[in-house]
């Protein structure tokens, strides 16, 4: 089970910059009562562990016979799969098949590079869009669709769609062209969908047993409603981050995992936190980081810069290998002292030393501890962070599942690209360009 250490956020530890345990408990209990009343249907993501995996497994078995697997999606439809790929199958394309490419942007150069590497005849393309209406994903889908057709390949053999169970463009095309289709449950929205077929399909394609991820998520989900705060670290984390903003004015959350394999977890978390909480003038700014790398680029700012941050460490107790540092150069102290230790030891010591330095400097920090990186712990951390985010949104009294602020930009893009019904937005863009 992953653990939370919140001692370095308490006033007992860091003085007046900290928060009393009493305040944390009051708001943690409030978060539990809010989530237990299930005010939004989108909280259904909590029960994704109940899903039937048979179709996912059947399609993944077929997918493993391809040489290449291209995933098209963006935001919540791509970042979770990226974490699964990098955390659970690091350097995958150098070692295993199918080679996986996650094309989540419409950068034409990235597209060209992928096309140069893959052979379409041996490629399965997973198009992921809950709405089936996202311009970036649909544009890249159209290009792949045309190329598959131009090569006279069977679209049924080269596409799998992951989309809404009832509606949208992808659902319609799946029915018309008999394309295999996986469903994202109706009430599960993009950034809370990693444990739906959005993420578990890729996991299975990589040969990862997704039921381990779901079993882990179940354990976390069940604890999310427990009023025993020792069993409910999600409520304690949500309360701590909420109070750090509301009471102490700390408006930046630095997310700092100590493992290269969790670098994209920072990106995934930042999207989850920003898009869920940044509304009605509320929310805090997530800031993706990586230990130990960013100790050499950002730590100075965290130690002596403005008093506006909370650091969230993600520490990994055991990495999959230790790698001993050899004992050499006994007469040069700068090299001698490293010999006989391991890289794992150095990584974990750097994390501890940074945490201590921040605490000694009265900078609030939380620590989430993963025993290892494996499907189980990744399932747990996904569900842990999703529940913390939803609870924090409920404490802010905002809806953590919508994103009204991104609609205007989408509408203006539709107008500029000539989508019917968005003519006035098209005119607005023209006027803007004339300024
Ligand atoms: O969290 C969200 O809802 C968004 O980030 C979406 O995931 C993103 O906009 C992509 O949407 P869709 O899956 O509908 O293409």
Segment 263-277, tens digit of pLDDT: 999 999 999 999 999
Question: Is the pLDDT score of 178 beyond 90?
Answer: yes
Can you tell me the mean pLDDT for 127-148?
Answer: 97
Pick the closest to residue 141 from 71, 37, 202 (CA basis). Answer: 71
Indicate the average pLDDT of the chain: 97
381 C-alpha to ligand 1 centroid (Å): 20
Do 363 and 14 meet the contact criterion of CB atoms below 8 Å apart?
Answer: yes
Give catalytic status of residue 307 as yes or no: no
In a mutational test of the pocket of ligand 1, which residue from 74, 126, 168, 170 has the highest number of ligand atoms less than 8 Å from its CB? 74
Give catalytic status of residue 341 as yes or no: no
pLDDT the model gives residue 1: 83
pLDDT the model gives residue 383: 98
Question: Is the pLDDT score of 321 beyond 90?
Answer: yes
Instruction: Give ligand 1 pocket residues (Cβ under 6 A).
Output: 74-77, 129-131, 134, 137, 189-191, 275, 403
pTM, rounded to two decimals: 0.96
pLDDT the model gives residue 407: 85
C-alpha separations of 357 from 100, 291, 316, 404 in Å = 40, 14, 19, 40
C-alpha separations of 200 from 104, 137, 182, 310 in Å = 18, 19, 11, 32
Structure tokens at 15: 């003085």
Give catalytic status of residue 275 as yes or no: yes
What percent of the chain clears pLDDT 70, i.e. is strictly above it? 100
Question: Is the pLDDT score of 99 beyond 90?
Answer: yes
Structure tokens at 411: 């509408």
pLDDT the model gives residue 165: 97
User: Ligand 1, atom 13: nearest CA belongs to which residue?
Assistant: 129
Pick the closest to residue 232 from 36, 20, 83, 14 (CA basis). Answer: 36
pLDDT the model gives residue 169: 97
What is the per-residue pLDDT across 45-96, written as a single tens digit (0 to 9) for each? 999 999 999 999 999 999 999 999 999 999 999 999 999 999 999 999 999 9
255 C-alpha to ligand 1 centroid (Å): 22
Question: Is the pLDDT score of 188 beyond 90?
Answer: yes
């Amino acid at each position: 089970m992953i653990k939370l250490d919140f001692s370095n956020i308490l006033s007992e530890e860091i003085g007046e910059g900290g928060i009393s345990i009493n305040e944390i408990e009051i708001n943690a209990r409030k978060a539990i009562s809010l989530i237990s009343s299930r005010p939004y249907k989108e909280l259904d993501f909590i029960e994704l562990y109940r899903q039937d995996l048979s179709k996912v497994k059947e399609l993944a078995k077929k997918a493993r016979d391809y040489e290449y697997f291209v995933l098209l999606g963006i935001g919540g439809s791509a970042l979770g799969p990226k974490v699964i790929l990098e955390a659970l199958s690091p350097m995958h394309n150098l070692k295993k098949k199918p080679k996986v490419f996650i094309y989540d942007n419409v950068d034409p150069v990235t597209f060209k590079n992928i096309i140069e590497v893959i052979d379409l005849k041996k490629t399965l393309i997973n198009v992921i869009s809950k709405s089936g209406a996202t311009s970036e994903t649909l544009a890249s889908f159209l290009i792949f669709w045309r190329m598959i057709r131009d090569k006279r390949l069977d679209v049924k053999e080269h596409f799998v769609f992951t989309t809404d169970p009832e509606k949208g463009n992808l659902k319609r095309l799946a029915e018309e062209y008999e394309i295999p289709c996986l469903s994202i449950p109706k009430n599960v929205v993009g950034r809370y969908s990693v444990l739906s077929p959005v993420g578990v399909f890729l996991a299975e394609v990589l040969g990862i047993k997704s039921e381990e991820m779901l079993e882990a998520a179940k354990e976390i989900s069940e604890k999310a409603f427990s009023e025993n705060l020792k069993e409910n670290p999600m409520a304690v984390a949500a309360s701590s981050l909420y109070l750090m903003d509301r009471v102490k004015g700390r408006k930046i959350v630095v997310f700092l995992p100590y493992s290269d394999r969790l670098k994209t977890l920072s990106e995934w978390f930042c999207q989850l936190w920003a898009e869920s909480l940044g509304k009605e003038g509320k929310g805090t700014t997530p800031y993706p980081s990586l230990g130990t790398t960013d100790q050499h680029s950002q730590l100075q700012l965290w130690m002596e810069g403005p008093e506006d941050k909370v650091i969230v460490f993600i520490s990994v107790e055991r990495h999959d290998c230790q790698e001993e540092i050899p004992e050499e150069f006994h007469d040069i102290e700068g090299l001698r002292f490293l010999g006989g230790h391991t890289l794992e030891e150095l990584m974990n010591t750097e994390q501890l030393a940074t945490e201590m330095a921040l605490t000694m400097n009265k900078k609030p920090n939380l620590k989430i501890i993963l025993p290892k990186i494996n499907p189980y712990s990744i399932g747990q951390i996904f569900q842990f962070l999703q529940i913390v985010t939803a609870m924090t949104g409920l404490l802010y009294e905002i809806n953590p599942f919508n994103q009204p602020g991104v609609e205007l930009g989408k509408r203006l893009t539709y107008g500029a690209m000539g989508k019917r019904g968005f003519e006035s937005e098209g005119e607005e863009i023209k006027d803007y360009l004339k300024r």
